[in-house]
C-alpha cells in the first residue's frame, strides 16, 4: 500500500461535497487551519488538523510532506476547453485587435474555417504529441482533470480522430481527460442555409459512431444566432441524450437566444459562456441542477462584457469557471489568468473562485462524486501553493503559484521534500 501524509498546511481547503454548491454556499470552502491529509493507494483516507491526524497515524509508516507555510487545495478542474485542434490563428488575433470585423477575417480564409482546414490535415499522432504538451502545461498550473471538445473537423473522419486522440491522451497522461463531442460547432459555407441537413448528418452518422465506440461522455452544440437555433439545438441534444451521452451547451454568448432556458429544459449538466443570458434564464438556472460555466478569458480576449457571475451567484446559481482554451477566440489555458479576471472584473470572492474551479467544475464534468474536494473516499488530486494563503491566488495576479501537484496520490510536479 502506498501511503502519504500531508501535514502542517497553513490553510487546507476541503470544498467538501459530492454535488455542486449554489449561491452563498459557494463561499463555504471548508477551511482547516494547520490541516493534514492522509492518502492511501491514491485515495483520501482522512482529513483533519495536523494534531488530530498525527495522533492516529504513525509517521514512520507514511511518506510525509511538510506543508508548513503553504496552502493546500483540491486539484483544479478545467471544465471547458477545445484541447485538440490543428493550426493556429495568431495573425487573425492581431487583425481583430486592429479592428477588423469577423466577416472580413472570414473573407481572408480566417475564422473557424481556417482551423477546420488545419485540423483535418493533422494526424492522430500529431494530435497526441501536441495534446501531451498542452496537458503538461495545464498540469503545471494545478489542473488535474480537464474537459476537451471535438468540433474542428465538422466531418466524420476528423471528429472521430479528435476524440480518439483524447482517449489516447487520457490513457497515457496523468491528467484525466473528459471527452465531449461538439460536432455542431459551426456551419461551413457549403452548409449555409442547410443547417438542418448538417444536424441530420451529425445525428444519423457521426453521433451514431461516437456512441457505438464510446468516444465521448458529453455532447455539446453552439446554440447561437447564425449558427444553430434553439430548435436545432434541442433536436441534436435530445438525440445525444437518447444515445446515452450527457449534455452541455454553448449558450447565449453573443445574442440572447434562449440557450440558457433550453439548457434547463433539457437538464444539461452545464450551460457555458452565458454572456447574454436573460434574467429569466438566470432565474431558471438558479432553480436547477445545471451548472453555469463562465469563461472570462474569452470575454477578455474578445474585449466583450463579462458574464454576470456576481448576479448569478447572488441569485443562487451553481457557477463554474473554465479557460475555453481554443485556437481562435481564446488561445490561453491559463488558470491564473481566469482567477485574476474572475476576481477583478467579475467580482467573485477567492472562496467562490476556488469552489468554481474545484467541486462545481467537477460537477460540470459529471465527476463530483470522485474529485473536486479533499475528503474521505475521493481521489487524492491535491495541489500545494508556494504561499501560506489562498488570497495569494488573485493577489499574485495571473502568475502560477502552484508548487506541487499530486494526482491519484502520486507527485507529478514539484519536489515537496526540499526545504
| Burial of 97 per CB tally in 10 Å (0-12, 13-18, 19+) | exposed
Residues forming beta bridges with residue 38, ordered by sequence position: 5, 46
Is 286 annotated among the ligand-binding residues?
Answer: no
Is 155 annotated among the ligand-binding residues?
Answer: no
Is 396 annotated among the ligand-binding residues?
Answer: no
Is 360 annotated among the ligand-binding residues?
Answer: no
| Residue partners of 9: CB distance under 8 A and separation at least 6 | 32, 34, 35, 36, 37, 50, 67, 68, 70, 71, 72, 384
CA distances from 45 to 5, 220, 374, 394 (A): 10, 36, 10, 31
Give exposure, 17-30, as e/b (b: 16+ Cβ within 10 Å). bbebbbbeebeebb
Is 273 annotated among the ligand-binding residues?
Answer: no
Residue corresponding to grid cell 459557494 = 26
Is 185 annotated among the ligand-binding residues?
Answer: yes
Residue corresponding to grid cell 477567492 = 350
CA distance 223 to 235: 11
Is 283 annotated among the ligand-binding residues?
Answer: no
Is 234 annotated among the ligand-binding residues?
Answer: no
Element (DSSP H or E) covering residue 31: strand 31-40
Is 324 annotated among the ligand-binding residues?
Answer: yes
Is 253 annotated among the ligand-binding residues?
Answer: yes
Is 17 annotated among the ligand-binding residues?
Answer: no
% helix, strand, coil for the chain, step of 5: 40, 20, 40
Residue ranges for the known binding site for Fe(3+) are: 80, 82, 250, 324
Binding-site residue ranges: 80, 82, 89, 152, 185, 250, 253, 324, 326, 328-329
Q: Which residues are annotated as a binding site for Zn(2+)?
A: 80, 82, 250, 324
Residues of the binding site for N-formimidoyl-L-glutamate:
152, 326, 328
Binding-site entries for 4-imidazolone-5-propanoate: 89, 152, 185, 253, 329
Amino acid at each position: 500500500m502506498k501511503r502519504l501524509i500531508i501535514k502542517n498546511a497553513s490553510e487546507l481547503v476541503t470544498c467538501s461535497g459530492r454535488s455542486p454548491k449554489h449561491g452563498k454556499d459557494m463561499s463555504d470552502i471548508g477551511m482547516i487551519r494547520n490541516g493534514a491529509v492522509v492518502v492511501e493507494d491514491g485515495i483520501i483516507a482522512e482529513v483533519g488538523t495536523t494534531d488530530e491526524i498525527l495522533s492516529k497515524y504513525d509517521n514512520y509508516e507514511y511518506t510525509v510532506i511538510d506543508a508548513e507555510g503553504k496552502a493546500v487545495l483540491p486539484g483544479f478542474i478545467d471544465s471547458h476547453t477545445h484541447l485538440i485542434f490543428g493550426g493556429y490563428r495568431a495573425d487573425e488575433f492581431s487583425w481583430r485587435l486592429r479592428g477588423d470585423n469577423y466577416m472580413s477575417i472570414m473573407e481572408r480564409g480566417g475564422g473557424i474555417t481556417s482551423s477546420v482546414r488545419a485540423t483535418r490535415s493533422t494526424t492522430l499522432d500529431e494530435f497526441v504529441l501536441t495534446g501531451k504538451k498542452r496537458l503538461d502545461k495545464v498540469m503545471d498550473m494545478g489542473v488535474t482533470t480537464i474537459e476537451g471538445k471535438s468540433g474542428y473537423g465538422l466531418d466524420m473522419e476528423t471528429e472521430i480522430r479528435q476524440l480518439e486522440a483524447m482517449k489516447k491522451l487520457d490513457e497515457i497522461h496523468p491528467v484525466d481527460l473528459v471527452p465531449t463531442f461538439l460536432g455542431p460547432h459551426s456551419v461551413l459555407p457549403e452548409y449555409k442555409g442547410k443547417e438542418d441537413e448538417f444536424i441530420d448528418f451529425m445525428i444519423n452518422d457521426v453521433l451514431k459512431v461516437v456512441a457505438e465506440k464510446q468516444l465521448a461522455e458529453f455532447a455539446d452544440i453552439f446554440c447561437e444566432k447564425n449558427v444553430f437555433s434553439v430548435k436545432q439545438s434541442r433536436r441534436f441534444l435530445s438525440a445525444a441524450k437518447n444515445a446515452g451521452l450527457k449534455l452541455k451547451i454553448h449558450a447565449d454568448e453573443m445574442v440572447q437566444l434562449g440557450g440558457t432556458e433550453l439548457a434547463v429544459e433539457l437538464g444539461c449538466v452545464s450551460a457555458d459562456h452565458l454572456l447574454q443570458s436573460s434574467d429569466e434564464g438566470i432565474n431558471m438556472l438558479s432553480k436547477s441542477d445545471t451548472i453555469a460555466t463562465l469563461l472570462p478569458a474569452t470575454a477578455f480576449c474578445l474585449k466583450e462584457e463579462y458574464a454576470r457571475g456576481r448576479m448569478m451567484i447572488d441569485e443562487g446559481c451553481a457557477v463554474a469557471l473554465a479557460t475555453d482554451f481554443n485556437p481562435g477566440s481564446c488561445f490561453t489555458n491559463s488558470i491564473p489568468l481566469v482567477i485574476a479576471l474572475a476576481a477583478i472584473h467579475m467580482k467573485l470572492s477567492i472562496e467562490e473562485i476556488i469552489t468554481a474551479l474545484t467541486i462545481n467544475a467537477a460537477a460540470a464534468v459529471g465527476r463530483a462524486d470522485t474529485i473536486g474536494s479533499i475528503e474521505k473516499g475521493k481521489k487524492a488530486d491535491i495541489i500545494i501553493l508556494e504561499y501560506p494563503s489562498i488570497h495569494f491566488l488573485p493577489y499574485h495576479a495571473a502568475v502560477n503559484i502552484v508548487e506541487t501537484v499530486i494526482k491519484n496520490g502520486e507527485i507529478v510536479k514539484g519536489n515537496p521534500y526540499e526545504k
